[in-house]
Amino acid sequence: MNDLLLRACRREPVERPPVWMMRQAGRYLPEYRAVRARADFLTMVRTPELAVEVTLQPVDLLEVDAAIIFSDILVVPQAMGMALSVDEGVGPRFHHPLATPADVARLRDVAPEESLGYTLDALRLARRELGGRVPLIGFAGAPWTLASYMIEGTGTRTFARAKAFLARHPAEAHGLLQRLATAVGDFLVAQVAAGAQVVQLFDSWAGALAPADFRAFALPYLAGAARRARSAGAPVIVFAPGAGWALEEIAQATGADVIGVDWQVEPGAARRRLAAHPVAVQGNLDPCWLYAPPREIARRTRAMLDAFGGRGYIANLGHGILPDVPVAHARAFVDAVREWRSTEAAR
């Protein structure tokens, strides 16, 4: 049983850091595209057999040290009653974005076993099929990120609608964020009960907010969800890309076991800034460097590992792997981690 990930989360000694990649069950894999040719994205998410098939692919094909359940952060708003489409390459789209406080009031609360049972079933099946080979990760989107998608309806560069909602309806925005924190926390607790051994919270749009707004509208609800999830007993990873300025505050407020670091923060700086906090770190190669020749990928990966050090560290990209990266390049990244040894790693 490869338990490198679990030991890294607890900052215990490891022979080498574990490695996995955000969005590792994805379109860069021909085997994923073969499944995707038979079913659309949300059908894959909602069909445990299909979700588990692609969840296991990178474990089999690339020998990564963790499986992450195939799902989407927007299943929670969908479970609250928002009609959702996902066209890969275009992105997700809510048919009726939240425009007014009345729209917010119409949302349903979420009972995970009822409305998100397909992901819990997928976790149970994945745990069985993994048979202890590598740990299984569950995940969810953080409240601010979900709320901004629900208001924008789709991806955005300015977040003008979502932030206008905060500016015009602050009380209702806080109400929505609180409901999302509860829903997300409950969902993660249910995921752990269903077999997730680690859970990750993605606050993907944290970088859209100025510091004062992040502290008002994102961090308290991210922390609420993380602390609720943590009560289930599995390590919690918190990843807030674009908010590298806030690493210390995120560690402090969320009580997370692991802090994800995006590629805009230098590994050495992340380590120094988090040294006073009882956390492991995860990250952070810019996924675009997987376009470089494999030798350059290996060189950059080793430099990253040297800078982060071997203990309390999970090697990963600083963002999801991109769909047109050659599989051999993804493998060069994974292999560079698997072959790396630090003098301090085994301590």
Q: Which residues are catalytic?
A: 23, 27, 36, 72, 149
Cα 293 from Cα 59, distance rounded (Å)? 23
Q: Are strands 258-260 and 236-239 parallel, antiparallel or unpaired?
A: parallel
Q: Is 111 in the site for its own copies (CB under 8 A)?
A: no
Subset of residues 138 to 167 that bind its own copies, contact rule: CB under 8 A: 155, 157-160, 163-164, 166-167
Q: Are strands 198-202 and 236-239 parallel, antiparallel or unpaired?
A: parallel
DSSP, collapsed to helix, strand or coil, labels residue 283 as: strand
Closest CA to 313 of 239, 259, 248, 252: 259
- State phi, psi for 141 to the nearest 5 degrees: -85, 150
Subset of residues 174 to 193 that bind its own copies, contact rule: CB under 8 A: none
DSSP, collapsed to helix, strand or coil, labels residue 199 as: strand
State the minimum distance, in angstroms, from the CB of residue 333 to its own copies. Answer: 13
State the minimum distance, in angstroms, from the CB of residue 229 to its own copies. Answer: 27
- The residue (of 43 and 158) whose beta carbon lies closer to its own copies is 158
- The residue (of 55 and 204) whose beta carbon lies closer to its own copies is 204
State the minimum distance, in angstroms, from the CB of residue 181 to its own copies. Answer: 22
Q: Is 168 in the site for its own copies (CB under 8 A)?
A: yes
**Cα–Cα–Cα angle for 229, 233, 235, nearest 5°?**
75
- The residue (of 113 and 296) whose beta carbon lies closer to its own copies is 296
CB distance 161 to 97 below 8 Å: yes
Which of 33-67 are b and which e, b meaning 16 or more Cβ less than 10 Å from the residue's Cβ? eebbeeeeebebbbbbebbbbbbbbbbebbebbbb
State the minimum distance, in angstroms, from the CB of residue 31 to its own copies. Answer: 22
User: Residue 88, Cα to own-chain centre: how many angstroms?
Assistant: 18
Q: Is 326 in the site for its own copies (CB under 8 A)?
A: no
With both helix axes pointing from N to C terminus, report the angle between 170-194 and 143-152 in degrees, rounded to the nearest 10. 120
**Cα–Cα–Cα angle for 27, 28, 29, nearest 5°?**
85
Cα 24 from Cα 202, distance rounded (Å)? 15
When binding is defined by CB under 8 A, the residue of 138, 201, 318, 337 that contacts its own copies is 318
Binding mask 262-301 for its own copies (x = CB under 8 A): -xxxx-------------------x-xx-xxx--x-----
State the minimum distance, in angstroms, from the CB of residue 249 to its own copies. Answer: 12
Subset of residues 207 to 246 that bind its own copies, contact rule: CB under 8 A: 207, 209-213, 244-245
- The residue (of 207 and 224) whose beta carbon lies closer to its own copies is 207
Q: How many CB atoms are closer than 10 A to CB 148?
A: 25
- The residue (of 135 and 207) whose beta carbon lies closer to its own copies is 207
- The residue (of 166 and 184) whose beta carbon lies closer to its own copies is 166
State the minimum distance, in angstroms, from the CB of residue 158 to its own copies. Answer: 6
Q: Which residues bind its own copies (CB under 8 A)?
A: 155, 157-160, 163-164, 166-168, 207, 209-213, 244-245, 263-266, 286, 288-289, 291-293, 296, 318-319, 322, 324
